[in-house]
Structures are given as structure tokens and as C-alpha cells.
A = this chain, B = another copy of it.
Amino acid sequence: MIVVVTPNPAVDVTYRVDEQRIGTTQRVRSVERRPGGKGLNVARVLAAEDVVTHSVLPLGGASGTWMVDAVAALGQPVTVVSVPGETRSTITVVDDLAHPTMFGEPGPDVPARTWLRVDEAVRAAVHAAPDADALVIAGSLPVGSPPDVVVPWITDALAAGALVVADLAGPALLAAADAGATICKPNRDELAEATGRTDERAGALDLLRRGAGTVVVSRGSAGIAAHTVDAVVEVPAVPGVTGNPTGAGDAATAGLVLALTRGTDIATALRTAAAFGAAAVLRPVAGEIDHDAAHRFTTDLETTRSHA
């Protein structure tokens, strides 16, 4: 069982309009609403692979209520922690003419006492039967939340014998490394931004020195790499895959944690991550992968190992 925490879930709304134009009144032709946030995307991919997940979601207001209903429809265990204020929405405006425009709400102010209730929810989920094999923390924190709210989740999970995958950014990524997360999984930009290092290896070493077990860096079309103190293992991206890259990083996280909880080595886990990421690009929406393609891709990829 894999516990998945989404610290700042969002209602992902897509508006289709005839033509995006600033300063006008635009009739929205169609509205789609989906439960969003990186952790929820990870949980959806895992659920589609028949892995039992337990999601922990701080939710509030009317959009929070909508999310509870939408997530319950996925048929997986969920613990909802009520937060004051309104769960954020992200609105993506699309037409057939220009790039999409995305408006991201900041998310609610989550007070310290609410984070204590999230701590309890994570602890309960990690210790619930069946034992948790892993804890995944994925996505941003609400604006204004202290980055170290993630620390007790990580220490509890590690103490319970679960591995921890932290797909975080900024100071929360550093806090996860400090807390000894088994895997810190930023993309290249997030790693550079959090550590202030433009060199990937240097940034990864910073996180390793802080306490991260392994630093997995997703490189988009340049593949994925795992850094430990004495080695770098690299897997290229699946070649020739085009489609919708939204959610590909989340699918990669799902592939990574799925492989690791099944006891594979890091090279196989990276191949699974790259394959799941590519298989997500083949699907039109985030949180889904092309199952057959994912398993075909996994066996096709080659791994390079270099000793540092």
C-alpha cells in the first residue's frame, strides 16, 4: 500500500473558447473539471496499475467538497483533512490558435493546527493495515505554508519502514532532504532553483549531503538520472513519443515508486519511471498512462552507470 500526500490539491478546470483575446468577454464553449495536483495524478496512475493507495488531502470550501466527491469516485481510500478557506482551482484556457493560458490560484491559508491534523492523518495511514510500503509527497505547498510541514510525515514513514519519495520544490525539497527522504525527485529546474546550483551533479550532491538517500532528476526529453554519493545512473527518454506532456512527471514518479516497492534495483526503477512518463504523454489527460506502452517501453530502455 502506498500513502500519497497532495499538500495543495487543485480543481483543474479547462475552458475551451473560440479565440483567446485580452480585454474581451469570452463565451466558454465547454468546461471540464478534474481533481488535480501532482499527488493525485500519481495516485491515479498507481490505482490504474492495481496498486492500493491511500490519499491524504487537505481540502476546504465548495471546491473542496467537489474534490471529495470526485476523488471518492476513484474508489481508493482517502483521508480528507478539512482546511479553512477554499481549495484552489487552476484554470487553463484553450483554443485552436494559441498556446493555453493557465491561471493558478494561490490556495488557502492553512494554519499550523491544520497541519497537525495532516500529520495525524499521514501517521494513521502509514500505520494502517496493510503496512505502507511507501509514502509519496508530491506537489507544491500552499503559498505561505512553512516548508518543514513535510518533516514529520517523512520521519514517521521512515520509522515505520516505508520508503519515502518526495516530489517537491523550493525550500520544501530541502526540508525533505534534511529529513532523510529515501528519494528526492525534482526536475532539473526545480533542483537548480532549490539548491542554487546550475550543475545537476552539484545540486544533487547538496541534497545527498543534507540527508537524501538518492536524488532522482527528471530531465524531460533528456531522460532521467539517479544520483548517489558515488554513482550516477542514467536512462534516456523513450524516443519518438509525442502528445500531451502534462502529468508525465507524475506518471514517472508513479513508475519509480511502483518499481522500488517491488524490490527492483534503481536502474530498473528509472526505466520504469521513464516508460511511465512516456506512456503518460500518449494520453490526453494528466493522471493516466497507456498501460501496454508503459510495459513495452520499460524493456526497451538501456541504462548507463557512471561512477563519480
- Report which A residues bind B (CB closer than 8 A): 15, 17, 20-29, 31, 33, 61-63, 65-66, 86, 91, 93, 98-106
Contact = CB atoms under 8 A, between A and B. Distances in A.
A22 B62 contact: no
Given A28-B103, A33-B86, 4 more contacts: A22-B22, A27-B104, A28-B104, A31-B86
A63, A66, A86 — most chain B CB neighbours (10 Å): A66
A27 B88 CA distance: 12
Given A86-B33, A106-B31, A21 B101 contact: yes
Contacts of A62: 62-63, 65-66
B28 A101 contact: no
Contact of A65 (B24, B65, B103, B104): B65
Given A22-B98, A98-B23, A17 B65 contact: no
A102 B26 contact: yes
Contacts of A28: 103-106
Q: Within the oligomer, what is the number of copies of this chain?
A: 2
A267 B66 CA distance: 49
A65 to B, nearest CB: 5
B23 A103 contact: no
Contacts of A91: 91, 103
A91 to B, nearest CB: 7
Contact of A22 (B63, B86, B101): B101
24 contacts: A15-B105, A17-B103, A20-B22, A20-B23, A21-B101, A22-B22, A23-B98, A24-B99, A24-B102, A25-B101, A26-B104, A27-B104, A27-B106, A28-B103, A28-B104, A29-B106, A31-B86, A31-B105, A31-B106, A33-B86, A62-B62, A62-B63, A62-B66, A91-B91
6 closest A-B pairs by beta carbon, nearest first, are A23-B99, A62-B66, A62-B62, A25-B102, A20-B22, A28-B105
Contacts of A66: 61-62
A95 to B, nearest CB: 9
A26 B65 contact: no
A104 B26 CA distance: 6
Nearest to A13: B89
A26 B101 CA distance: 8
Nearest to A106: B28
A32 to B, nearest CB: 11
A110 to B, nearest CB: 15
Contact of A100 (B23, B27, B31, B100): B23
Contacts of A105: 15, 28, 31
A148 to B, nearest CB: 23
